[in-house]
Amino acid sequence: MENNTKRYWRGIEELTNNAEFVKYAHREFGDAPSENEKGEALIDGTNTVRRDFLKVLGFGVSAVALAACEAPVKKAIPYLNKPEDVEPTIANWYASTFIDGGDYASVLVKTREGRPIKIEVNPMSSITKGISARVHASVLSLYDNEKLKGATIGGKPSDWATTDKEIIAELGKVSARGGQIRIVSNTIVSPTTKKVISEFIAKHPTTKLVTYDANSVSGLIQANGGILPSYNFSKAKTIVSIGADFLGTWLAADEFSEQWAKTRRVSSAEGGNKEMSRHYQFESIMSMTGANADYRSTYKPSQEGLVVTSLYNALASKLGATPIGGASIKIDHFDKAVSDLVATKAASIVVSGSNDPAVQTVVIAINAMLGAYGNTIDAGMPSNYRQGSDAEMTSFINEAKAGQIGAVIFYNANPVYNHPRGAELAEALPKIGLTISTNDRADETGSLCKYNTPDSHYLESWNDAEPKRGFFSFTQPTISTIFKTRQAQSSLLTWAGLNGDYATYLENAWSSTLGGKSAWSKALHDGVYEPGASASFNVPQTGLADAVVSISKNYKANSDKMELAIYEKVIMGTGSQANNPWLQECPEPVSKACWGNYAMVSLATAKKLGLDQEIELDTHEVEVSVNGKSVKLPFIVQPGQANDTVAIAIGYGRTKAGKSANEVGANIYPFASVINGNIAFSNTGDVQVKATGKSAQIARTQTHNTVMAREAVVQETVLSAYKKNVEAGRFKPEISTAEGKKTATDISLWNGHKYNNHAWGMVIDLNTCTGCSACVVSCNAENNIAVVGRQEVINRREMHWMRIDRYYSSDADVEDVKGLEYASENPEVVFQPMLCQHCNNAPCETVCPVLATTHSSEGLNQMTYNRCIGTRYCANNCPYKVRRFNWFRYYQTDEYDFQFNNDLGRMVINPDVTVRSRGVMEKCSMCVQRIQAGKLEAKKEKRRPKDGDIQTACSQSCPTNAITFGDMNDETSEISKLLEAEHKGRAFGVIEEINVKPNISYLVKIRNKDEKVKKEEAAVEHKEHA
């Protein structure tokens, strides 16, 4: 695909037009399944396949079926005693709070007939403005069949009374002899849970709480004097991130995304905002945040500290402060970042993803020098997202190894898996007399503990949270416990000899704070209580000189050795929800790979290693070894990564999480190193990457759907050009006709549709879409989309109705080989959410032989599954490749052992949407079930629907509000206003030249970059001068 200025590609194979790529470009769904493919055998273990079976029985079967056509007797079983607030078929919504370690979100839970089926953002929260893919997927984790079904002793099921009795007796013994007790936990954001722990400590005074985080930021906390400041990117004009993936994984990424998007939203309307923040990203891997940056360049992990000191020194010299020493590093765009930071001063923010307190100390000094404190950074309102201390955890493991611990309680923590020294801890655990785990399953840590007292899922629990000082939010159960689990807080209270009723404990605590029961009820109803806190800021004390000494010791300006970068995936995170098939199957925004982790290297490094370019399906297996430890993984080339660096994601390689997670990928936690007592998510030791000679496969969707070299799929421009002309970057295709050239959108064979009632449409702002994929998982949950598993993704048969297309681009000329090589080293990235465009001149509608896909009087392209006979003509004719064919009966075939194949998992199914059978085409319906429900609600109230009443799953989920859905016939709606403003501005339809008139418009992506003088123009000018 190319438009007038740039060249775009999705994978290197597309850029180089690899033979394999060309072959598959025409086969959207890969090869047709063979007759003997799995899922087709009628009887397990036999060769009787469906087609043979029909051949033999043929018409006879249908004849018999017809003759015996007695309707099965269906039962209708009502409640015996219907709860007053439950009305079957009508959804109830409850405010609650998602907590997973330090990850927090204030949410609304949709329940149907008492089952939670969907999570949405709580609009009353002033902190949570959008929720991530992991929060959306958490509802499926509730129905995970592989959780513990009750308390166990030594791996054998037990009842709670016996378990409590034994634990209390043993704790008593340990306490009596003065033995050390430890509660090991991830970050606890709940103040009442902390109170419970202090009650426990009061009873057993030798107890200490050890907090650690798998994605630790303890270095940042240490440098800030024990707190985590609040960052406000919305006030920033210049953002410089040094390895912090703040839109994807760093601290509170959803919160930061919304703030960041505020500074990126422009309007083409007269007098509309045309200013944007400028975002620099310096990093080792191509993170999602880096992909969204205006300027981006790379450094190696071993240089990180010196990048920060260099930045300090450069700023100091401009601002008249004293430089601090440290070797100077030159990376691209560095000087430009410095001059922008100086220009915007207090409206700047510099963040670092490093976990080294020395590095963070320098970053604090930089922000202090710029005057960011009190403006973009607020240290007076600490946030509680991460509280882990690597030092505490290290000393705990040392004590455990030395046999100094009498009892340990793992409170929803799995250090054996997700701590770099997990293996050492696993060896030391038998030395501890009493081991208890409250983890929800017998995971890597839990299975090594004597007592497993599983905690309930957050949707079954009572709790509170204080994500920021003075901002509270509450968790209330939306279903009674599915298994015989018990809240860990209740367990701790019971073991402390108190009443184990945590719900009452919580209510009492809050009723007195809030002033009465009704205030408590209101707080529960709203889900949040935000009295705020007096915000006074203080710049943390800095030990700058020591920091510089430490940095000079630990980092090197130049190194040609191979290094390992360890990163967190936006979708999978730390792996705590690894057994969630929605997360496993959601492609990572940048690499577009799912179901596993892999070793990523840059193109130049791949060449250096002698590993030729991988193509999509088959790649090499490599062995990455670091200081003797090794791991075997598939290998991929990731454009935009630092050279001589191999990057591997955490969160995979679980061994005891469950069917969807076990043995998927490899565990890279043990490869992390330690700098200044904190875990460094990199390793600069002896890193070797070798091909094992075997081939490997990666489930990767990046080139599954190609646009077949069509033009103008994504359109972009730079801010300076946009300021001059709001239509900058717009590509307006023209077509030659007998009457001369005409704009493509003016020529049509069709008469068009008339929409008297509603005209549903969507606008997607490419400028604020970060690629986070929350919409993809939200769509999965809303529309009962089947999980197909790793092999079927490899076979190109993923079922997602919505995908995020990631395009790499560069300004380099197509013929310019050198330029292209550079391009694939550091390309620019555009994310484009792609879903059914609901075309008004829909190519699919005209080719369906059975009228299974038709156009509605409200502008929707309707797909009728029960009429579809599966010719796939529509998919062949769809220019956007958004139609997905349902190859197998994903809900009744053992091979697809995901949520649709067990009774518990099926509880998550949205009853308003059909579960599709095999042999039909599916696609985005624009959440027609929500449209119909919203219209009905309006009709009942005898009014027109109000704008915002009806939201699609994706538009409701978008943390940055990049997706606007609404009625284009309603002049007061947001979408109408937006289109009014952008009609003669940024709005474009994808592949306008074929004039299918989509109801989804995209807004041109704008980068806040300097305008590049085109080579040809420059050349022409040069000639003229000559």
Residues within the interface to other proteins (CB under 8 A):
66, 69, 71, 73-82, 87-90, 756-757, 852, 854, 856-858, 860, 862-867, 912-915, 925, 928-929, 932, 935-936, 938-940, 942-944
Q: Tell me the closest approach of the beta carbon of residue 950 to other proteins, in angstroms.
A: 13
Q: What are the backbone angles phi and psi of residue 51, rounded to the nearest 5°?
A: -70, -40
Query: Considering beta carbons, is residue 79 or 750 the nearer one to other proteins?
Result: 79
Q: In angstroms, rounded to a whole number, what is the distance separating the alpha carbons of residues 592 and 803?
A: 10
Q: Tell me the closest approach of the beta carbon of residue 969 to other proteins, in angstroms.
A: 9
Q: In angstroms, rounded to a whole number, what is the distance separating the alpha carbons of residues 414 and 317?
A: 47
Query: Considering beta carbons, is residue 751 or 756 the nearer one to other proteins?
Result: 756
Specify the amino acid at residue 650: I
Query: Considering beta carbons, is residue 69 or 176 the nearer one to other proteins?
Result: 69
Query: Considering beta carbons, is residue 32 or 61 the nearer one to other proteins?
Result: 61
Angle among Cα 591, 594, 599 to the nearest 5 degrees reads: 55
Q: Tell me the closest approach of the beta carbon of residue 952 to other proteins, in angstroms.
A: 13
Angle among Cα 388, 393, 396 to the nearest 5 degrees reads: 145
Query: Considering beta carbons, is residue 302 or 783 the nearer one to other proteins?
Result: 783
Query: Considering beta carbons, is residue 99 or 915 the nearer one to other proteins?
Result: 915
Query: Considering beta carbons, is residue 835 or 928 the nearer one to other proteins?
Result: 928
Query: Considering beta carbons, is residue 117 or 830 the nearer one to other proteins?
Result: 117
Q: In angstroms, rounded to a whole number, what is the distance separating the alpha carbons of residues 992 and 732?
A: 8
Q: Tell me the closest approach of the beta carbon of residue 901 to other proteins, in angstroms.
A: 18
Least Cα distance to 499 among 823, 830, 164 occurs for 164
Is there a contact between 507 and 521 (Cβ–Cβ < 8 Å)? Answer: no
Query: Considering beta carbons, is residue 86 or 321 the nearer one to other proteins?
Result: 86
Q: Tell me the closest approach of the beta carbon of residue 799 to other proteins, in angstroms.
A: 16
Q: Tell me the closest approach of the beta carbon of residue 784 to other proteins, in angstroms.
A: 11
Q: Tell me the closest approach of the beta carbon of residue 990 to other proteins, in angstroms.
A: 23
What 3-state class would DSSP assign to 349?
A: strand
Residue 477: enclosing H or E segment and its boundaries?
A: none
Q: In angstroms, rounded to a whole number, what is the distance separating the alpha carbons of residues 1006 and 721?
A: 9
Q: Tell me the closest approach of the beta carbon of residue 981 to other proteins, in angstroms.
A: 25
- 3-state SS track over 38-49: CCCECCCCCCCE
Query: Considering beta carbons, is residue 43 or 73 the nearer one to other proteins?
Result: 73
Is there a contact between 301 and 284 (Cβ–Cβ < 8 Å)? Answer: yes
- Cross-strand partners of 862: 854
Query: Considering beta carbons, is residue 72 or 628 the nearer one to other proteins?
Result: 72
Q: Is the dihedral of CA 87, 89, 95, 101 positive or negative?
A: positive
Q: What are the backbone angles phi and psi of residue 479, rounded to the nearest 5°?
A: -155, 150
Q: Tell me the closest approach of the beta carbon of residue 863 to other proteins, in angstroms.
A: 8
Q: In angstroms, rounded to a whole number, what is the distance separating the alpha carbons of residues 944 and 937?
A: 9
Say how many C-beta atoms besides its own lie within 10 A of residue 711's C-beta. Answer: 17
Is there a contact between 1002 and 716 (Cβ–Cβ < 8 Å)? Answer: no
Q: Tell me the closest approach of the beta carbon of residue 882 to other proteins, in angstroms.
A: 16
Structure tokens at 568: 């967190």
Residue whose pair of structure tokens reads 């000079």 in the numeric block: 552
Query: Considering beta carbons, is residue 221 or 924 the nearer one to other proteins?
Result: 924
Least Cα distance to 567 among 871, 285, 180, 239 occurs for 285
Is there a contact between 834 and 1000 (Cβ–Cβ < 8 Å)? Answer: no
Query: Considering beta carbons, is residue 355 or 910 the nearer one to other proteins?
Result: 910
Query: Considering beta carbons, is residue 84 or 1024 the nearer one to other proteins?
Result: 84
Query: Considering beta carbons, is residue 509 or 913 the nearer one to other proteins?
Result: 913
How far are the Cα atoms of 146, 229, 579, 897 from residue 660, in angstroms, in the given order? 10, 37, 5, 8
- Cross-strand partners of 464: 474
CA torsion, ordered 886, 890, 893, 897, to nearest 10 deg: 140
Angle among Cα 116, 119, 120 to the nearest 5 degrees reads: 140
Q: Tell me the closest approach of the beta carbon of residue 934 to other proteins, in angstroms.
A: 11
Residue whose pair of structure tokens reads 């009709």 in the numeric block: 939
Q: Tell me the closest approach of the beta carbon of residue 899 to other proteins, in angstroms.
A: 18
Is there a contact between 150 and 133 (Cβ–Cβ < 8 Å)? Answer: no
Sheet holding 115-121, edge to edge: 92-100, 103-112, 115-121
Query: Considering beta carbons, is residue 769 or 852 the nearer one to other proteins?
Result: 852
Q: Tell me the closest approach of the beta carbon of residue 61 to other proteins, in angstroms.
A: 14
Q: Tell me the closest approach of the beta carbon of residue 142 to other proteins, in angstroms.
A: 24
- 3-state SS track over 628-647: CEEEEEEEEECCCCCCCEEE
Specify the amino acid at residue 130: G
Query: Considering beta carbons, is residue 34 or 480 the nearer one to other proteins?
Result: 480
In a 10 Å sphere around its CB, with 0-12 CB exposed, 13-18 middle and 19+ buried, how is residue 746 labelled? exposed
Is there a contact between 712 and 734 (Cβ–Cβ < 8 Å)? Answer: no
What 3-state class would DSSP assign to 734?
A: strand
Q: Tell me the closest approach of the beta carbon of residue 66 to other proteins, in angstroms.
A: 6
Q: In angstroms, rounded to a whole number, what is the distance separating the alpha carbons of residues 451 and 687?
A: 39
Q: In angstroms, rounded to a whole number, what is the distance separating the alpha carbons of residues 404 and 420?
A: 21
Query: Considering beta carbons, is residue 71 or 1013 the nearer one to other proteins?
Result: 71
Q: Tell me the closest approach of the beta carbon of residue 143 to other proteins, in angstroms.
A: 20
Structure tokens at 266: 């422009």
> Residue 587 contacts by C-beta under 8 Å, 6 or more apart in sequence?
571, 593, 594, 700, 701, 702, 773, 776, 803, 804
What 3-state class would DSSP assign to 452?
A: strand
